């Protein structure tokens, strides 16, 4: 039998969060980047995801030379710790220049800010040794649809992607779709939209996607189907596994904590499609609950990985023959995953 590959895992510094929400302040003490990196190592994860300003804090106040210098220092540290950088993502939703969106802002100067910042993120990615630039297009949408021209917005997105692809011949853009939040409606809400817009760019082969389970659920889709769809195109370059209890605010719950069947089917899709074999990482974009105490602050990361690995074991021992037999009899194998006793260690 072919040797099964082992998965590699990562998370971002923002996944050790302090509990603030729109209605209340942080409830856990602030933790600095060094501490978070140590925790990542202690937990035995393989890589870290970076926003541009996780890698180079206060990036907007720094020169290009200074940004490169700090990125090089970070790279040395990561090498010393044996930690890889999985991706870099420009944080295009925080600055005053991005209030009306970044690449699709109605203001030319603000669009230029977004492109410049994206090119700096590509510099950082190159120095940190990753070719993946993640684009979560947080504010590329509207609260009131009449406030932007939808057709023009698509053209502006393509122009921005083209500038990035021309700037660096190696970089790959992984679009992370999300249908809403912070905006009412986003322009690229699903994986289908991400892969379709790729075709309009100067180099479609270098425009792919990142699937986040919660975002797919918010779009009313099954994340496992999104995985199969993206992987049929060879375009799933990163993954944010987490969980989401239906159509409400983006919850980023620990993987498998709400709906084990949906989690199982994602793992089964990853297994069948060979995710990870080309070096992709399994990332958990999860947050502790606001009620989580400091002593359990990292449990959501560890539990997400444990659940994932248990589900890998279940997917590998799934009774495929029995499933096929039931399907042939016109019955559905809906109880089979449950028979695998998902909740136990066995």
d(CA 286, CA 280): 18
The nearest distance, CB 108 to Mg ion, in angstroms, is 29
Backbone torsions φ then ψ of 345, nearest 5 degrees: -80, -20
Q: Is 54 a catalytic residue?
A: yes
Please pick, from the candidates 193, 235, 240, 305, the single residue that binds Mg ion as defined by CB under 5 A. Answer: 240
**Which option in Mg ion, ligand GLO, none does residue 53 bind, with CB closer than 5 to 8 A by kind?**
none
Of 168 and 181, nearer to Mg ion (C-beta) is 181
Burial code (b: 16+ CB inside 10 Å, e: under 16) for 246-261 equals eeeebbbbbbbbbbbe
The nearest distance, CB 212 to ligand GLO, in angstroms, is 5
β-pairing verdict for 185-186 and 141-142: antiparallel
Of 89 and 122, nearer to ligand GLO (C-beta) is 89
The nearest distance, CB 49 to ligand GLO, in angstroms, is 7
Of 258 and 315, nearer to ligand GLO (C-beta) is 258
**Which option in ligand GLO, Mg ion, none does residue 86 bind, with CB closer than 5 to 8 A by kind?**
none
How many Å from the N-terminal Cα to the C-terminal Cα in the chain? 22
Do 65 and 320 meet the contact criterion of CB atoms below 8 Å apart?
A: no
d(CA 194, CA 122): 20
Total of chain residues touching Mg ion, rule CB under 5 A: 3
**Which option in Mg ion, ligand GLO, none does residue 85 bind, with CB closer than 5 to 8 A by kind?**
none
Closest to 282 (Cα-Cα) out of 270, 273, 269: 270
**Which option in Mg ion, ligand GLO, none does residue 111 bind, with CB closer than 5 to 8 A by kind?**
none
Q: Is 300 a catalytic residue?
A: no
d(CA 7, CA 137): 27
Residues near ligand GLO (CB under 6 A) are 89, 134, 136, 176, 178, 212, 240, 250, 285
**According to the binding rule CB under 5 A, does residue 212 interact with Mg ion?**
yes
d(CA 7, CA 273): 13
Q: Is the peptide bond before 192 cis (omega within 30 degrees of 0)?
A: no
**According to the binding rule CB under 5 A, does residue 52 interact with Mg ion?**
no
Of 148 and 240, nearer to Mg ion (C-beta) is 240
The residues near 170 (Cβ < 8 Å, ≥ 6 apart) are 126, 131
Active-site residue, selected from the candidate residues 51, 110, 193, 215 = 51
Of 11 and 187, nearer to Mg ion (C-beta) is 11
Active-site residue, selected from the candidate residues 52, 53, 54, 285 = 54
The one segment of 84-92, 282-290, 305-313, 315-323 that binds Mg ion by CB under 5 A: 282-290
Backbone torsions φ then ψ of 66, nearest 5 degrees: -65, -40
**Which option in Mg ion, ligand GLO, none does residue 308 bind, with CB closer than 5 to 8 A by kind?**
none
Of 165 and 186, nearer to ligand GLO (C-beta) is 186
The nearest distance, CB 94 to ligand GLO, in angstroms, is 10
The residues near 92 (Cβ < 8 Å, ≥ 6 apart) are 98, 102, 103, 114, 117, 118, 137, 138, 139
d(CA 75, CA 125): 10
**According to the binding rule CB under 5 A, does residue 285 interact with Mg ion?**
yes
User: Which chain residues interact with Mg ion by CB under 5 A?
Assistant: 212, 240, 285
The residues annotated as belonging to the active site are 51, 54
């Amino acid at each position: 039998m072919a040797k099964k590959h082992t998965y590699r895992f990562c998370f971002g510094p923002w996944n050790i969060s302090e509990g603030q929400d729109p209605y209340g302040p942080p409830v856990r003490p602030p933790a600095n980047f060094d501490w978070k990196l140590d925790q990542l190592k202690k937990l035995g994860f393989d890589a870290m995801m970076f926003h541009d300003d996780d890698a180079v804090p206060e990036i907007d106040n720094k020169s290009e030379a200074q940004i490169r210098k700090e990125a090089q220092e970070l790279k040395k540290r990561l090498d010393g710790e044996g930690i890889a950088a999985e991706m870099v993502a420009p944080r295009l939703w925080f600055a005053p220049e991005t209030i009306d969106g970044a690449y699709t802002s109605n203001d030319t100067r603000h669009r230029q800010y977004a492109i410049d910042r994206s090119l700096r993120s590509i510099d950082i990615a190159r120095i940190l040794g990753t070719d993946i630039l993640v684009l979560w297009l947080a504010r590329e949408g509207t609260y009131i649809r009449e406030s932007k021209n939808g057709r023009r917005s698509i053209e502006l997105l393509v122009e921005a992607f083209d500038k990035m692809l021309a700037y660096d011949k190696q970089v790959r853009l992984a679009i992370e779709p999300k249908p809403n939040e912070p905006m009412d409606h986003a322009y690229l809400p699903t994986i289908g939209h991400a892969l379709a817009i790729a075709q309009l760019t100067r180099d479609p082969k270098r425009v792919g996607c990142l699937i986040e389970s919660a975002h797919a659920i918010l779009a009313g889709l099954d994340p496992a189907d999104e995985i199969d769809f993206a992987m049929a195109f060879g375009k799933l370059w990163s993954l944010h596994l987490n969980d989401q209890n239906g159509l409400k605010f983006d919850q980023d719950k620990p993987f498998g904590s709400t709906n084990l069947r949906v989690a199982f089917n994602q793992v089964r899709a990853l297994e069948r499609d060979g995710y990870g074999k080309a070096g992709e990482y399994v990332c958990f974009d999860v947050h502790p609950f606001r009620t989580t105490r400091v002593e359990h602050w990292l449990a959501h990361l560890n539990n997400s990985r444990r659940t994932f690995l248990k589900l890998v074991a279940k997917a590998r021992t799934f009774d495929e023959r029995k499933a096929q037999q039931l399907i042939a009899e016109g019955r559905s194998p809906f109880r089979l995953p449950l028979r695998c006793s998902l909740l136990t260690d066995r």
